[in-house]
Structure 1
Amino acid sequence: MLLSGRMAASALLLLVLLVATEMGTPTRKVAEARDCLSKSHKFKGACLSSSNCASICRTENFPGGECKLDSFARKCFCKRVC
């Protein structure tokens, strides 16, 4: 009788551990915003600094910008959330 009590306690402990590991990490899907890029109309020359590009893009009513490779040269692209 003592052996079956130990087996029942072990089985209960195993069940609790399995349930606890399933509850550990939530698996919610979160929607991520996409960035839309548009080539800057005011930026001239090769884009060497993303911070400079971002400041020019703010004058074009965009929240930010970054340097990206376009064809063979780095160009300033303004970005905003789509």
Structure 2
Amino acid sequence: MEKKMAGFCIFFLILFLAQEYGVEGKECLNLSDKFKGPCLGSKNCDHHCRDIEHLLSGVCRDDFRCWCNRKC
């Protein structure tokens, strides 16, 4: 009986871990089309990409431009 219970617990543990480490869609980084001016704070860029362009996220890079993440 204990072996069945241990096997049952291991099965659900593996099932749970498989959900945590599932495959996610590929993301692409693209230059923002609508962001104006130099990108000095990633928080502003992230807000712009999410709320204005309806993309996943945004980040300022070392070229002072806003780059947005989107699903490929």
Instruction: Give TM class, smaller chain.
Output: 0.5 to 0.7
Aligned-pair distance for 1:56?
0.7
Letter in 2 for 1:76: C
TM-score (ref. length: structure 1): 0.50
Number of equivalenced pairs: 53
Specify the alignment match of 2:66 in structure 1: 76
- Within a 5 Å distance, the mapping from 1:1-82 to structure 2 comes to 34-58=26-50, 59-69=52-62, 73-82=63-72
Instruction: Specify which structure has the higher proportion of strand.
Output: 1
Could you say which structure has the greater relative contact order, defined with CA pairs below 8 angstroms and 6 or more residues apart? Answer: 2
TM-score (ref. length: structure 2): 0.56
Q: Which runs of 4+ in 1 moved over 2 A?
A: 30-35
**SS of structure 1 residue aligned to 2:55:** coil
Flag structure 1 segments of 5+ consecutive residues without an equivalent.
Answer: 1-29
Specify the alignment match of 1:8 in structure 2: none
The verdict on how the C-alpha distance between 1:60 and 1:32 changes in structure 2, with shifts beyond 3 A counting, is: closer
